[in-house]
A = this chain, B = another copy of it.
Amino acid sequence: MRHEVPEAAQRPTVSSVAVHAGVSRQTVSNALNNPERLQPDTLKRVLAAIEETGYVRSAAARQMRTARSGVIAYRLDPVRDGIGGAVLDTFLHALTAEAERRDYRVALYTADSDEAELRQFASLTQTRAADAFVLVGTHRNDLRYRWLTEHGVPYSVFGRPWSEQGTAAQPTHAWIDVDGAAGTAQATQHLLDLGHRNIAFVGWPAGSETGDERRRGWDEAMAAAGVTAAERHALDSEQQDGILEGADAASRLLATGATAFVCASDSLAVGAFSAVRAAGERAAVVGFDDTPTAAALGLSSVRQPLDSAAAWALASVLDQLDGRPPRERDARLLLPQLVVRESSQPPMSTR
């Protein structure tokens, strides 16, 4: 008594749609991939049939023939720091949304070392589970670029190509990044315009590329405003990223007469902000990354254009996939935008 239930009415295929529309399967395929090859009325008829049958191309069959999976892979790192991590979260969300817009998908993988990641590259590309990679978290002597380049796998990078040790060669890969110095410079200028002069920098220990760059923006803006090197040195501070660290630094700097703070991250800024409030001061604080936390606290912060960065990163790998020439960029770096909130309002001369 085998009475197989017709599970789900057989999914439509090119052929079934073709029958429905009274054309051949290839014509259906063309309607979707090369509509200009069809006569307008045929096209209309086929599209109508597709619509009626609810036909959707099978990803697998498509991939098989085209050797494309339509998938971009992205490494998901474990959560490190609730605040800092938000940047990459936002980037990933933007990347996913942008990929959807262009009919691609983002798939995740994990890896806890460069070597492990190379293994993932191999597995993902060999099975053709992914067509391209978008990398973040670049570092010196990154093994990944070379592997991908050697294996002819398209990729783009969100992050500066920190020059390989000893190599003076220009990086040849596609990358995009945000101009951190411009961000802190903008923040500093904003505070200068408000009349501040003793603007301190709450930054990370020297040695990290990103951190050094953010410090430079503050330093240059200060120098341009006529603040001497000695003064700047006294207003500079270095500590690990963190709320407590930011609070400590701000307390110290407040004591030396700082009236405003430019911070290398929102974590530091949250700390600095709370220290300022705790001390009953009105010093202005500006953070970096415009995390939701900063927004919630009313903290001014430098916002990275992550949507643009994600869109560019994706466009770049798609260009590579389709064999288009590398896309030109107006500027080497994207300019961040300062979002002004209560934490850096014009200092009201209370009393």
Contact = CB atoms under 8 A, between A and B. Distances in A.
Contacts of A128: 58-60
Interface in A87-124: 89-90, 92-93, 96-97, 100, 105-110, 122-123
A59 B92 contact: no
A105 B105 contact: no
What is the oligomeric copy number? 2
A57 interface: yes
Interface residues of A, number: 58
A127 B59 contact: yes
Nearest to A130: B105
A92 B78 contact: no
A90 B78 contact: yes
A296 B60 contact: no
Interface string A65-84: 00001110000111111110
Contacts of A34: none
A96 B79 contact: no
B152 A296 contact: no
Given A60-B63, A79-B292, A105-B109, 9 more contacts: A8-B152, A59-B63, A63-B63, A71-B107, A78-B93, A85-B89, A108-B108, A243-B270, A243-B293
Contacts of A78: 90, 93
B110 A93 contact: yes
A329 interface: no
A126 interface: yes
